[in-house]
Amino acid sequence: MFSTNSNNEVLNEETSPILTQTKLYIKDNLSDTLKLSDIAQYLHISSRHLSRLFVKELGVSYSEYVKNERIQKSAFYLKRQI
Residue 34: CATH number of its domain: 1.10.10.60
Report the number of distinct structural domains present in the chain.
1
The average pLDDT across 2-19 equals 58
Judged by DSSP in three states, 27 sits in: helix
pTM over 0.85: no
**pLDDT higher than threshold 50 for residue 6:** no
For 35: left if phi > 0, alpha if psi spans -120 to 50, otherwise beta; the answer is: beta
Span 16-66, pLDDT tens digits: 999 999 999 999 999 999 999 999 999 999 999 999 999 999 999 999 999
pLDDT of 5 reads 46
The better pLDDT of the pair 29, 3 is held by: 29
pLDDT of 12 reads 46
Interatomic CA distance for residues 23 and 27, integer angstroms: 6
Domain encompassing residue 49:
2-81
Strand partners, 36: none
